[in-house]
Amino acid sequence: MSRTRTYRCLNCLEHTVSREFDTSHLSVTCPNCESFERFVNEAVYQQFRAFEESPPTAIDWGRLDRTEKLVVAERIARSTKTIEDFDVVDSTGSGDGDENENEDEAADDPAESPTPK
């Protein structure tokens, strides 16, 4: 018999489903909140919650958005990576090819993203 994995709705955080396969997430309609939503692997969610309750000191956890935090939690929960394998880096430029346009605005409001070292 296969081992089942639990996945939690990221919209309502209440409903869970069990599946006999192991993946980082799946997308299904949640019967609780009726949203077609991403259900995250419970191990990933538990790692995310642990970091929310006690933020890691190795990176500036508070600067990350929810999606970035979930990416870090997923890599730690489902691989051999540790929190020390990540950096929060500033990303500048608008991405439209003219990186000098709005240079002052980009310097004042850089985007951050967690990246493996």
Longest dimension (CA), the chain: 59
* pLDDT of the residue at 93: 45
User: For residue 6, what are its two tokens?
Assistant: 């639990």
- Confidence (pLDDT) at 89: 80
Average pLDDT over residues 84-110: 54
Which of 33-37, 43-47, 103-107 comes out lowest in average pLDDT? 103-107
> What residue spans define the domains of the chain?
5-92+109-116
What's the average model confidence in pLDDT over 29-43?
94
> Which phi and psi angles does 29 have, rounded to 5°?
-80, 125
pLDDT above 50 (res 56): yes
